[in-house]
């Protein structure tokens, strides 16, 4: 399925819903339930493959899992590739497209030094990824400014990063784990009319509220994986 179709589903105020999968079986369940896109959760994929979340899963294993997913579904697949697993932009684009994916999340957490990747460096990486992939990849640039500290205080940095990432060629920006509707509203307004991805959190804004805020894409993240794991754990206890 084409990146153009995935890109067309990013409509502010009418958000694309993504209950993130982690393997071929869960991806097939998502597609069979009628969702128009399958997205992966990096944490869920990593754990299912036997690794912790945090950009340490071997890329060969990640892309083998993605290839199995794209083989069994007929809808677009977008992949959370964390920080890119140490691959340069050209190889990352090549591996994504070869696996059958038409979209990706790329985060700006610095997994080596801690904190965030410098804004200019991350924007340049996104520009290189866009150049390597052309229009064949929907790039969702994750903004991790809100992961630590006061989310309201983090807003200016997040907005600056988001604008730079969009200018570099990102199709969508993802201020992950924002719980405060006012902060999310201010972020969305500051980058309008660009597409914004929000996380659907148990203690966060409802799906309806997120739509009213102009969100174009709602991710479950590792939520579906956590529920599946809890269900299996309970079944094992009962057994």
Return the pLDDT at 204. Answer: 87
pLDDT for the residue numbered 217: 98
Question: Distances in Å between the alpha carbon of 35 and those of 39, 137, 167, 218?
Answer: 10, 19, 30, 12
198/205 Cα distance (integer angstroms): 10
* Pairing of β 103-106 and β 38-39: unpaired
What residues contact residue 119 under an 8 Å CB cut-off, 6+ apart?
Answer: 160, 161, 164
pLDDT at 1: 58
Q: Please give the pLDDT value at position 212.
A: 97
> Beta strands of 169-219 (E only): which ranges?
172-175, 195-199, 217-219
Residues pairing with 103 in the sheet: 78, 138
pLDDT for 11: 98
Q: CA–CA separation, 200 vs 183, rounded Å?
A: 15
What is the domain partition of the chain in residue ranges? 3-238
Whether the upstream peptide bond of residue 193 has omega within 30° of 0, thus cis, is yes
Beta bridge partners, 109, equal: 116
| pLDDT number for residue 142 | 98
Helix, strand, coil percent values for the chain (each to nearest 5): 50, 15, 35
Fold of 3-238: TIM Barrel (3.20.20)
Q: What is the pLDDT of residues 105-137, one digit of tens each?
A: 999 999 989 999 999 999 999 999 999 999 999
The single-letter DSSP state of residue 54 is S
- Given a contact cutoff of 8 angstroms between Cβ atoms, the answer to whether 218 and 207 are in contact is yes
Q: What is the DSSP letter of 86?
A: T
CA nearest 69: which of 52, 83, 48? 48
Task: Report residues of the chain scoring pLDDT below 70.
Answer: 1
Classify the C-alpha dihedral 116-96-199-155 as positive or negative: positive
Please list the residues that pair with 91 across neighbouring strands.
none
């Amino acid at each position: 399925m084409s990146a153009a179709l995935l890109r067309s589903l990013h409509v502010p105020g009418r958000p694309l819903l993504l209950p993130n999968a982690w393997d071929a079986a869960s991806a097939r369940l998502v597609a069979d339930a009628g969702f128009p896109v399958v997205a992966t959760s990096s944490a869920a994929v990593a754990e299912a493959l036997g690794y912790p979340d945090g950009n340490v899963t071997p890329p060969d294993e990640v892309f083998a899992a993605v290839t199995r997913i794209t083989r069994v579904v007929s809808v677009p697949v977008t992949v959370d590739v964390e920080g890119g697993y140490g691959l340069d932009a050209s190889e990352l684009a090549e591996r994504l497209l070869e696996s059958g994916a038409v979209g990706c999340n790329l985060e700006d957490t610095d997994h080596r030094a801690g904190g965030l990747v410098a804004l200019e460096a991350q924007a340049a990486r996104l520009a290189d990824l866009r150049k390597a992939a052309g229009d064949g990849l929907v790039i969702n640039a994750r903004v991790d400014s809100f992961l630590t500290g006061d989310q309201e205080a983090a807003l200016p940095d997040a907005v600056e990063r988001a604008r730079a990432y969009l200018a570099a060629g990102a199709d969508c920006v993802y201020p992950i784990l924002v719980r405060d509707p006012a902060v999310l509203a201010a972020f969305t307004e500051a980058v309008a009319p660009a597409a914004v991805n929000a996380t659907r959190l148990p203690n966060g804004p409802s799906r309806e509220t997120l739509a009213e805020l102009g969100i174009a894409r709602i991710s479950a993240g590792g939520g579906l994986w956590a529920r599946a794991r809890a269900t299996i754990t309970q079944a094992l206890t009962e057994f």
